[in-house]
């Protein structure tokens, strides 16, 4: 199932934020991006997707797929949600987490300034 399958579901705030990101060419974070399943679905609608994952192999697969499909607006970063402030990625309008929420020990691992 892709993000586009889910775009009609979920809360209105999330859909509104994605709409604003798309309209303004804003950036967004995909935490626990893996090989970029959600990042690839969102990339056509935003300025840049910053795909963050702690697993180098996942990021390598994402980079390979991006090159194969000529997707150039995904930046791949090896890290996790606990190091977002140190990553110096600047402001983003939206942060998404697909199936990776289980990887965080608590929701407090997402810094407040990044989760608002």
What are the structural domains of the chain? 3-100+107-115 (3.40.50.150)
Mean pLDDT of 11-19: 60
Comparing 6-10, 68-72, 111-115, which segment has the lowest mean pLDDT?
A: 6-10
Enumerate residues 6+ apart whose C-beta is below 8 A from 48: 27, 28, 73, 74, 75
Q: What is the pLDDT of residue 69?
A: 95
| Predicted structure pTM score | 0.70
Instruction: Reply yes or no on whether the pLDDT at 5 is more than 50.
Output: no
**What b-and-e string marks burial along 15-43, b requiring 16 or more CB atoms within 10 Å of the CB?**
eebbeebbeeebbbbbbbbbbbbbbbbbb
Task: Give the residue-averaged pLDDT of 98-106.
Answer: 56
């Amino acid at each position: 199932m892709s993000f586009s399958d889910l775009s009609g579901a979920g809360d209105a705030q999330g859909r509104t934020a994605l709409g604003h990101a798309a309209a303004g060419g804003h950036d967004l974070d995909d935490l626990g991006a893996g090989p970029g399943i959600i990042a690839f679905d969102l990339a056509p609608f935003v300025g840049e997707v910053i795909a963050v994952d702690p697993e180098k192999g996942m990021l390598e697969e994402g980079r390979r797929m991006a090159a194969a499909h000529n997707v150039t607006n995904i930046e791949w970063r090896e890290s996790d949600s606990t190091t977002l402030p140190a990553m110096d990625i600047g402001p983003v309008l939206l942060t998404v987490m697909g199936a990776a929420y289980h990887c965080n020990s608590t929701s407090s691992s997402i810094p407040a300034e990044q989760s608002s």
